[in-house]
A = this chain, B = another copy of it.
Amino acid sequence: MDFSERFPIWGKLTPSEQKMLLASVSLRTASKGTVVHKGNLDCSGLLLLTSGQLRAYILSDEGREITVYRLFEHDLCLFSASCIMRSIQFELFIEAEKDTEFWLIPPDIYHRLMEGSVAVANYTNEIMASRFSEVMWLMEQIMWKSMDKRLADFLLQESSIEGTARLQLTHETIANHLGTHREVVTRLLRYLQNEGLVTLSRGVVELKDEKALQRLS
What is A's interface to B at a CB cutoff of 8 Å?
A: 58, 60-62, 64, 66, 68, 85-90, 92, 114-118, 121-122, 124-133, 135-140, 142-144, 179
Instruction: Give me 6 A-to-B residue pairs in the complex whose CB atoms sit less than 8 angstroms apart, sorted by A's number.
Output: A58-B136, A58-B139, A114-B122, A115-B118, A128-B129, A135-B136
Chain B residues within 8 Å of A136, by CB: 58, 68, 90, 92, 135
- The residue that A87 contacts in the complex, of B86, B87, B133, with Cβ under 8 A, is B133
Other A-B pairs, 18, CB within 8 Å; known A90-B133, A143-B179: A60-B143, A66-B143, A85-B125, A87-B129, A87-B130, A87-B133, A89-B130, A90-B136, A92-B136, A114-B118, A114-B122, A118-B118, A121-B122, A128-B129, A138-B139, A139-B139, A139-B142, A142-B142
How many copies of this kind of chain does the complex include? 2
Which of A60, A86, A89 has the largest count of B CB atoms less than 10 A from its CB?
A: A89
Chain B residue, CB-CB nearest to A118: B118
Residues on B with C-beta less than 8 A from A62 are 144
CA distance A64 to B136 in the complex (A): 15
Residue with the greatest number of chain B CB neighbours at <10 A, chosen from A89, A114, A121, A130: A121
